[in-house]
Amino acid sequence: MLMAVVLPMTACQEPEELTPAATKKGINNVLVYPTWDGYHTADANARFNSAIDYENHVITIQVPYNIPVESDAVTDLEDYKKVWIQFNLDDNAYISPKLVTIDLTQTYTVTLTDQKKQKSDWTIKAELKKHNACDIESFTIRDLGISALIDKNGATASLIYFNDLQNVFADVVLSPHARIVPDPSETAFWCSTDEPKKFTVIAQDGVTKREWTLQQTEPARHPEGIRPESAKVLWNIKLKDAGVSVLNMTTGIAATDEYVIINTRGEDPIILDAKSGKRLGTLNIGSVKGASSNYYITSDHKGHIVINNYIPDDGGIFRVWRMRDINSTPELFIEHATSDVLGKHLSVWGDVYGNASVQAVYCGWTSTGTTSNFTWTVKDGVADAKPYWCQISGMSKGWTNGDAIRLGTDATADFFACGYSANELGWISGSSNAMLSSVKGVLTGNEGMQAVDAVNFNGVNYVMASMESFFTWGVAGGAWVMEAKYPQTFNGSFELDATQDPDCVVWALDRGEGGYGLYGGRANEGANGNSYQDVKLHVTSDGYFMYAYYMFCNGYIGCVQFDCIAQ
């Protein structure tokens, strides 16, 4: 009875219409993947794309003219006589004969049967495809050392420089095998804020081209501090490759917009190009040169060079010299008679020819340690005759052979300090000299944190510190750049596992597998028995870039670039 009721009802309904899959063009895409020893790769970066001519039914496998694209070697299709081919077809469409692998030196004819069961013949072939990219990757005014900011979307190269450029040359990096007209490396050009310079970049294929504009402008800034993800290691070289002959006598580094200067005791310091690390020559320091007299070198926030001696090895008078630039003669800046041990590190906040604070810590080896430190205030280029002395309270262990820098030009401004064997970077109250917070250097416990520097970049204070082993069983060099907004957020500890570093860390030097370090003395030219290491932060005069430098005696010196350019 139930069936008798249901059957008449269903018989009156219209049958449901089946909707076929959306029809496109039969063949939507064809990809080819190289094979080796019978295996193919599914790596999207290694595959070859295709151009499909739907009118003439031709599929052209486009093999890069150069592999890799940066090389000058022309690709030989004979090397691709067995590649894996993958068709993307409409639903229910198919190719015959079925192809799994093909020989790119051959031409194939296949039949496509589409969703409507209509057949069409197609030709498959391969050709070498020249690169069609026509971008400027970098643009540097040769004589000035000024690099443009590249905007590939807008095809602009922007210089933060507001004087007219007259009869200048530029070093340009383009997309692989592209060329630029006129070539600024061979033809002098002019450019001003009112009249930008136009260049045309022509791709390797000789057809694709793009007009680029070199302009002088001031780009927008990131709201505050470092632009996230802007950190970029520019160079990283062994000290011996930088020309340092006596590794364990290398103590400090100074930085300007154009140069990095490596101090080696008793020798004229070595000058490197700030952007490439290339050795350019030496700094003539005249009579200051001596194993204990040019013991350490640093620089202020304006790029002025500061040199100091080490006492008591150089007598009982602590001396500091300053130089406006690499072409100047050292001038005596500070003299301080004392029986204290001073001179292994010196830090400057501000401008030694204007207003600054200059800070040095007690650096004698003692069984219990000390946290004594001295600050000279500088006003209008004149340093106080007598330094302000204070002693830190609240650090967990004895502390010596360290470094300290104030966050301001006043003698009682807050400051950062570190030293052996507390291995702790403390944020110290300038009013009470008590430690407010700290980042501890845990690692293995067989290294020392002995170098610190700080700057203000785009409205935010940043501090940099390093640790280096003095023993063969410690880690081989670590360096960190940290945000220093508030004491409350400046805490945690450096671990062998870099993923556990404190939240305030914005960049850390790669320490390799296990966290034991790659760039210090232990991993390179021998243990850093003299415990030398240094760090330097430098903000360029235009305020758009911050550079972080690290140096490990017997190991490496390197450079990291940050920017605050809005993207």
User: Quick one: tokens of 402?
Assistant: 């360290």
pLDDT for residue 16: 35
3-state secondary structure at position 139: strand
User: Quick one: tokens of 148?
Assistant: 């443009």
Give mean pLDDT, residues 241-268: 94
Q: Which of 18-22, 138-142, 375-379, 383-387 has the lowest mean pLDDT?
A: 18-22
Q: CA-CA distances (angstroms) from residue 419 to 400, 466, 488? A: 5, 10, 21
CATH architecture for the domain at 136-216: Sandwich (2.60)
Whole-angstrom Cα distance, residue 309 to residue 321? Answer: 9
Q: Which of 8-22, 174-188, 424-438 has the lowest mean pLDDT?
A: 8-22
Residue tagged 């190009």 (tokens): 273
pLDDT above 70 as % of the chain: 93
Residue type, 324: R
Length of the chain, in residues = 567
pLDDT for residue 399: 67
Residue tagged 């200048």 (tokens): 168
Which pLDDT tens digit goes with each residue over 271-292?
999 988 999 999 999 999 999 9
Helix, strand, coil abundance in the chain, percent, nearest 5: 5, 45, 50
Residue 288 DSSP code:
G
Give the contacts of 76 (CB within 8 A, at least 6 positions apart): none
**Which residue ranges does the chain devote to CATH 2.60.40.2340?**
27-129, 136-216
Global confidence as pTM: 0.73
Q: Which of 25-29, 234-238, 411-415, 512-516 has the lowest mean pLDDT?
A: 512-516
Whole-angstrom Cα distance, residue 294 to residue 319? Answer: 10
Whole-angstrom Cα distance, residue 33 to residue 40? Answer: 6
Radius of gyration of the chain from its Cα atoms, rounded to whole angstroms: 32
Give the contacts of 357 (CB within 8 A, at least 6 positions apart): 348, 349, 350, 375, 376, 377, 378, 406, 408, 409, 410, 411, 413
Is residue 9 over pLDDT 70?
no
Whole-angstrom Cα distance, residue 345 to residue 38? Answer: 61
Q: Are strands 94-96 and 108-113 parallel, antiparallel or unpaired?
A: antiparallel
CB 274 within 8 A of CB 325: no
Which pLDDT tens digit goes with each residue over 518-556?
999 888 888 777 778 999 999 998 899 999 999 999 999
CB 416 within 8 A of CB 395: no
Is residue 259 over pLDDT 70?
yes
3-state secondary structure at position 318: strand
3-state secondary structure at position 189: strand
CATH 2.120.10.30 fits 232-563, yes or no: yes
Q: Where are the alpha helices (DSSP H) in 67-201?
A: none
Give the contacts of 362 (CB within 8 A, at least 6 positions apart): 340, 341, 342, 370, 371, 372, 373, 400
User: Quick one: tokens of 485?
Assistant: 């907004």
pLDDT for residue 43: 64
Separation of CA 412 from chain center: 34
Fold of the domain built from segment(s) 27-129: Immunoglobulin-like (2.60.40)
pLDDT for residue 252: 96
Q: Where are the beta strands (DSSP E) in 256-399?
A: 259-264, 270-273, 279-282, 296-299, 305-308, 317-323, 331-337, 347-350, 356-361, 372-379, 382-383, 388-391
Is residue 238 over pLDDT 60?
yes
Label residue 31 by pLDDT band (50, 70, 90): very high
How crowded is residue 310: how many other Cβ atoms within 10 Å of its Cβ?
23
Q: Which of 107-116, 158-167, 263-272, 395-404 has the lowest mean pLDDT?
A: 395-404
pLDDT for residue 5: 38
**Which residue ranges does the chain devote to CATH 2.120.10.30?**
232-563
Label residue 10 by pLDDT band (50, 70, 90): very low
pLDDT for residue 286: 96
CA angle 169, 174, 178 (to 5 degrees): 110
pLDDT for residue 3: 42
Q: Which residues of 268-282 are buried (b: 16+ CB within 10 A; e: fewer)?
A: bbbbbebbebebbeb
Is residue 412 over pLDDT 80?
yes
Long-range contact pairs involving 423-431 (C-beta distance under 8 Å, separation at least 24): 423/397, 423/447, 423/448, 423/449, 423/467, 424/395, 424/396, 424/397, 424/399, 424/449, 425/449, 425/452, 425/463, 425/465, 426/392, 426/394, 426/395, 427/484, 427/487, 427/490, 428/392, 428/404, 430/406
Give the contacts of 262 (CB within 8 A, at least 6 positions apart): 239, 242, 244, 250, 253, 269, 270, 272, 551, 557
Is residue 14 over pLDDT 50?
no
